[in-house]
Amino acid sequence: MRRNGFIAIHEEDDLIRELLERWLGEAGYSVRPSGDEAPRLVIADVPSPHGAQARIQTLRDVYAAPVLVLSARFRRGLGSSDEAARRLGVTKVLPKPFTREELLSAVNEALRGAA
């Protein structure tokens, strides 16, 4: 395991998943889809607000780790992503598209909150 820990990514879009893996790897995180070891954080795409609760519950059934949700369905600004995170019961919601810096900031915030 690398210095910043292991992160599980659940993203169906191969290009986005590869970009997440690269950005997180460059920042010192070990990234895996799943495994025997418990992750420190789960990053999951939620393609639709209608299926969000079921998807998040499935992740909670598998992992005892905070969840960072990625979605193109959530708006930026005015605290709307913070409100969505509270409603969904997750650590953070990061609206797509996002920058490398926004991703790493959200990951750091989620991991600080889990400590």
For residue 34, what pLDDT is reported?
59
The Cα 49–Cα 39 span in angstroms is 25
For residue 2, what pLDDT is reported?
46
- Whole-model pTM: value is 0.83
One CATH from 3.90.1150.10, 3.40.50.2300, 3.40.50.150, 3.40.50.300 for 6-114: 3.40.50.2300
Which residues are CB-contacts of 97 (< 8 A; sequence separation ≥ 6)? 72
Residue spans per domain, the chain: 6-114
For residue 23, what pLDDT is reported?
96
Averages of pLDDT over runs of 10 residues in the chain (115 residues) are 70 93 93 74 85 86 90 62 76 89 93 72
Could you tell me how far CA 34 lies from the centroid of its own chain? Answer: 14
C-alpha R_g of the chain: 13
CA nearest neighbour of 96 among 38, 16, 32: 16
Which sign, positive or negative, has the C-alpha torsion 19, 84, 41, 60?
Answer: negative
For residue 38, what pLDDT is reported?
82
